[in-house]
Amino acid sequence: MRRLIYVLTAIMCLSAQAANACSFDGFPIPESLVDRLLKNNQIVLARPHPQEMLRFEITDTLEGAPGASKIPLTLADIERRRLIANPGDAVLFARTGFFGNWQRIGYVTDRHRGLFEQITDRLPDWRKGLAEDRASLFARYVADADPLVRTTALVELGRLPYATLRGLEHGTDAGRILDRLAVLPEHYLIPIRLQLIGLTKDRTVLGTLEDLLAEAVQANDPNVLHYATAYVELGGASAVHTLSEAYLTDHDLSLDTRRKVMEAVALHLREGDPRLRVMLQW
C-alpha cells in the first residue's frame, strides 16, 4: 500500500503539474494588508481635525511626502468620538502619488502602531523584492492577543508555500488554534490555522484532528486538503497509512475528496519532513 500511495502521488503531481493541481495555495484568501500598502507610496495616520469635526487631519506620515494634502473623506461621528476618547488611536490611509485618491486601510490603535511602523519601514525593500524577513516578521504575531494584529499575521502566512511555513518559528498553541476553527467570520483563516496546528508538533491534538478530518471528509468540506495535511504533519507515516486505508480506497467518497487527501500526501512528499519521504519510499 505504501508503494501504491507513493506511485499514485508522484503520478498525480507530475501529470497535473502544468495546471498546478498540487499547489497548496489554491484557496481564496483576502488581499493582505501588506499587499495593499505595497501598491501605494504615501501612507499616513490621521485623526479628527481640531476645527472641523467631520474632517480628518494628517498627524503622522509613515511613508512618502503628502505635504499639505487633505483627506476628502467624511469622519463619522461614532468614529470621531472613539478617536477623541483614545488619543493614541488613528486611521491609516494610503494613496499612490500626489494625485491619487486616499484609501482608508483601517483603524489603528496605539497597540497596532508598533507592527505598522515595522511594516512601513520595510516597504521600500519589499518593493525591490528584498522580502526575506517578511515571513519571519509576521510569524511573531500569529498568537498576538489583538485580533487585528493576529489576523494580519495569519493572512500573511497563509500566502506562503508550505516549505517556507515549515521553516518558521511561530510559537502557536494547538489547542487555542483548534478553538478558533469554529469562528464563522474567520472561516477564510481555517487553512492557515490547520497548517499551523500541524506544525506545532503537538500530538495531544492528533485524535481531535483525526475526528475533524473524518467529519470534513463526510461533509466533502473544501478544507479536506488542509485537515489531511495537518494530520500527516502530526501523525507521520502511520497517518499516511490511515488515510490510505480509510479514505483513498473508499470508492463511496467523491473523487474530489479522495484527490484532496492524495494532494496532502503529495505535499508532504515534496515539501514536508525529509524523514517521512524516506519512510514512504520503497
Amino acid making up residue 225:
L
Summarize pLDDT for 25-60 with one digit per residue, the tens.
Answer: 445 567 888 999 999 989 999 999 999 989 999 999
Of the candidates 63, 198, 196, the one whose C-alpha atom is nearest the C-alpha of residue 141 is 196
Ranking 84-88, 90-94, 96-100 by mean pLDDT, the lowest is 96-100
Segment 229-249 mean pLDDT: 92
Question: Within a 10 A sphere around the Cβ of 277, how many other Cβ atoms?
Answer: 15
Mean pLDDT is highest, among 56-70, 159-173, 188-202, for 188-202
pLDDT of amino acid 2: 54
Of the candidates 184, 211, 214, 181, the one whose C-alpha atom is nearest the C-alpha of residue 195 is 181
User: In the predicted model, is pLDDT for residue 12 greater than 70?
Assistant: no
Of the candidates 137, 157, 120, the one whose C-alpha atom is nearest the C-alpha of residue 36 is 120
Segment 192-218 mean pLDDT: 95
Long-range contacts of 239-246 (CB under 8 A, 24+ apart): 240/2, 240/5, 240/265, 240/268, 240/276, 240/280, 241/1, 241/2, 242/210, 244/1, 244/2, 244/4, 244/5, 245/1, 246/214
H or E element at residue 262: helix 255-271
